[in-house]
Structure 1
Amino acid sequence: MPHLPRLTPLALSLALLLGSAPLLAAEQSAPAIEDTETGKAPLPLEELRTFAEVMDRVKAAYVEPIDDKTLLENAIKGMLSNLDPHSAYLEPEAFAELQESTSGEFGGLGVEIGQEDGFLKVVSPIDDSPAAAAGIQAGDFIIKIDGQPTKGLSMMEAVEKMRGKPGTVIILTLIREGGQPFDVELKRAIIKTKSVKSQLLEGDYGYIRISQFQINTGEEVGKALASLKKDNGGKKLGGLVLDLRNNPGGVLQAAVEVSDHFLTKGLIVYTKGRIANSELRFSADKADASEGVPLVVLINGGSASASEIVAGALQDHKRGILMGTDSFGKGSVQTVLPLNNDRALKLTTALYFTPKGRSIQAQGIIPDVEVRRAKLTREQDAETFKEADLAGHLGNGNGGQDKPSGKKGEDKPRLQDDDYQLSQALNLLKGLNVARQR
């Protein structure tokens, strides 16, 4: 008589629900039972029986006692972790943290992470966070957290290790662009992110920086555009730089609202998935908060997801010139599906497409003008001798004021002076205006 595995009560109950698993465990295959009333796919009975047997044997033979709840939750995590890097099972704490991050205030280091070949990779640091202040850059690999290797950690486990009580210190070991590992010491803080910042760069050229897409980002961009016009004396701007660099994305609706501020018609983005409510289309209305001003959009490898939706829509409609480097390439949409007991599934349910039908998944948005990061060094102007310095020089016949040589006072530091990509964007806007005036 063949030996039959001895099952625990929970595994036995699961097996009985699946159809006498103990008696059929030795069979190579078993017919699946199809629900003819609902038309759902048949249950994979053989695999479910294997699951019940594995669970039973782990409980019986593992070196330390382990309870059913832990085993089942680990099984759920494993099921989600093998789908794609962005799907996850969110336990109560992780679910609460996700809700906090989209509302704009949470605790931690202020760094968005992803995975590449099993290693943690920085997608982007968040503006005004400990990570940004410490000089962490998009593309850095995190190989250790407080001396513990990160290889094999899930993103949720890594986030859990990096979060902690504000004021406590953590050490990350990083590798940048194939160089040698180096340590960065950071102090955890409450991350309060203001997703939109704006200012006049010089003359009538404006600048809007979006650090991430939160629930109210669309509204904030509208306010920023109005504020820039007010600061410009109520006159229409001569040009605008929209900075999406190192923006890890966020709320899809916010990306649609931001795009709509710059477009007056046409499709912004559409999504495709397997379930009915994943088939969505978003179009622009006639209002144009930007008044059609010349636009340059800055992107880089840290521009992901919702950032790429905005960049792709503006590029397809030829509304602005994209400048910088290739974006991250996250073209999927995640839906948060609440479960019982304050848990949730974050599940990839659709792919999004730009107005011209482009999917940027794993490819990214390619800028119209490639400009890589560079360090600016300012040289002193050589002392010069001009006509106006000569004794007895003739005056300007048109009544203009003489302009002799002389040292100018120290100029106030400007945002574009230490940001090569931004200075190039501003120069492009100036060139476009000169060309239009001729």
Structure 2
Amino acid sequence: MTLSVIGVSAPAKRFLATLLPIAFLSVPLPLFAQSSASGANQNAGDTLPLEEIQTFAEVFERIKRAYVEEVDDRTLLRNAMRGMLSELDPHSAYLDEEEFQSLRESTQGEFGGIGIEVGMEDGQLMVITPIDDTPASRAGLLSRDIIVAIDGTPTANLSLQEAVTLMRGEPESELRMSILRSGEDTPREFILKREIIRSESVKHELLESGYGYLRISQFQSRTAEQARDALAMMAREQPLEGLVLDLRNNPGGVLQAAVGIADLFLDQGLIVYTEGRLSDTAMSFSASSNTPSGDIPLVVLINGGSASAAEIVAGALQDQRRGIIMGTDSFGKGSVQQIMPLGNGEGLKLTTALYYTPNGRSIQAQGIEPDVEVVRGRLEVAESRREIREADLDGHLSAQQAPRDRQEMAERLLDDYQLSEALNLLKALNVVDRRR
């Protein structure tokens, strides 16, 4: 095959002459092979767009020659690769060596930062969720807060990975963030102190006797195992009569961990499946018969910070009619990213598939709609007219003081309206069940 290079200057021609052989070697042969029988049916997209490559070489040369500051070839090519990936979708990215290492650290559950998951929406850097017990959550950052600036650097022109890199840093160092909250016209200023983020993904406790609470803040490699142990510990004294599974502000994580959590509550049927262009991106996961939770009544809490793997769990339990989903609409991230290491120590984060719930629903940009919508809020006890009770009578017998942990739980349920409603629903389900 003979290629002609026209319309560009000599430096660009030399660059193009170098680029084209690489391009041809890196693309499978069927994209270029044409026979006389099938040539008429080939789409324009089935061949390498030589005009665009010529234009790319010309742009490259003009930047080299005329840009106000001298830019080396390596930087230009690196920026071109970043742009190529960032224009695909908000989650694909080119990772340099530092960013690649940072991503690996975050998936291992320990890194230096403020404890926040972020994403891009309509070109804006947005908080997906603050991670539990981190500087971000303690400072009061909320899901869907828009990050306007980081240490005075506007985020409008930053890639997602560049923003994450700015937020990472040495423990005890300060980070200043400008946050624009929904319904407000003026950004808020937050000053946070970085910490080593060691995120424990599973917490558990009893809300009341017989009613358990299982909190999963993100999905790590051992999350399903830890959740199984938590269920066993809560049922040690007496069988559970109901369970609240809290997936609020859970940004996702490891796919296999989400499958493992759903499998704790399902004894058969599909959990999730994925579809992509390549055969190895098509996966399907089903429940096993070993289900430690049995048929415990289950309420799953979600909100706008519940994303990705959290939505897989909520969607599977909803489609299989295993639990009642309560709260507000989830985030709507239904894509799968693969981390692909490159030979130079850098890497790609590339969206390769979409995942679907058992009933074939795509969550991408849609999210999970709860069965029972309950907005975030706080319970307020209304003052009523004064009524005489036993405690008001002279000489009444005194009751023992309520345990401190019980008082703290009562205060917590007042502060968390969604959790309080979940507990009330579990009690109602048990009442209805006993009357059958």
For 1:72-221, what aligned pairs fall within 5 Å after superposition? 72-179=77-184, 180-221=186-227
TM-score by length of 2: 0.88
Aligned mates of 1:215, 1:138 — CA distance in 2: 24
Structure 2 counterpart of 1:423: 420
The residue identity in structure 1 corresponding to 2:276 is G
Structure 1: any 5+ residue segments left out of the alignment?
Answer: 20-31, 392-401
Deviation of residue 54 (structure 1)? 1.4
Aligned mates of 1:109, 1:154 — CA distance in 2: 18
Structure 1 counterpart of 2:244: 241
Determine helix, strand or coil for the equivalent of 2:408: coil
Structure 2: any 5+ residue segments left out of the alignment?
Answer: 1-5, 24-29, 36-41
Aligned mates of 1:283, 1:103 — CA distance in 2: 26
Encode CA deviations 1:377-417: one digit per residue, 9 max, x unaligned: 456787643479879xxxxxxxxxx9869896676211423
Structure 2 counterpart of 1:69: 74
Encode CA deviations 1:233-277: one digit per residue, 9 max, x unaligned: 1x3201000000000111111111110010000000011110011
Structure 2 counterpart of 1:223: 229
Structure 2 counterpart of 1:7: 11
Deviation of residue 3 (structure 1)? 8.2
Aligned mates of 2:14, 2:254 — CA distance in 1: 40
**Structure 1 stretch 99-108 or stretch 70-79: which is displaced more?**
99-108
8 Å CA contact 1:124–1:247 kept in 2: the answer is yes
Structure 1 counterpart of 2:32: 34
TM-score by length of 1: 0.88
Structure 1 counterpart of 2:21: 17
Structure 2 counterpart of 1:355: 358
Deviation of residue 367 (structure 1)? 0.3
Change (3 A) 1:390 1:375: closer
8 Å CA contact 2:378–2:414 kept in 1: the answer is no
Aligned mates of 1:4, 1:84 — CA distance in 2: 31
Q: Compute the RMSD of aligned alpha carbons.
A: 2.7
Structure 2 counterpart of 1:255: 258
Which structure has the highest helix share of the two? 2
Larger radius of gyration: 1
Aligned mates of 2:233, 2:31 — CA distance in 1: 63
* 1:344 is the counterpart of 2:347: yes
Determine helix, strand or coil for the equivalent of 1:43: coil
Aligned mates of 1:187, 1:390 — CA distance in 2: 54
For 1:244-323, what aligned pairs fall within 5 Å after superposition? 244-323=247-326
8 Å CA contact 2:12–2:60 kept in 1: the answer is no
8 Å CA contact 2:151–2:175 kept in 1: the answer is yes
The residue identity in structure 2 corresponding to 1:423 is S
The residue identity in structure 1 corresponding to 2:11 is L
8 Å CA contact 1:175–1:181 kept in 2: the answer is yes
Give the paired residue count: 411
Structure 2 counterpart of 1:29: none
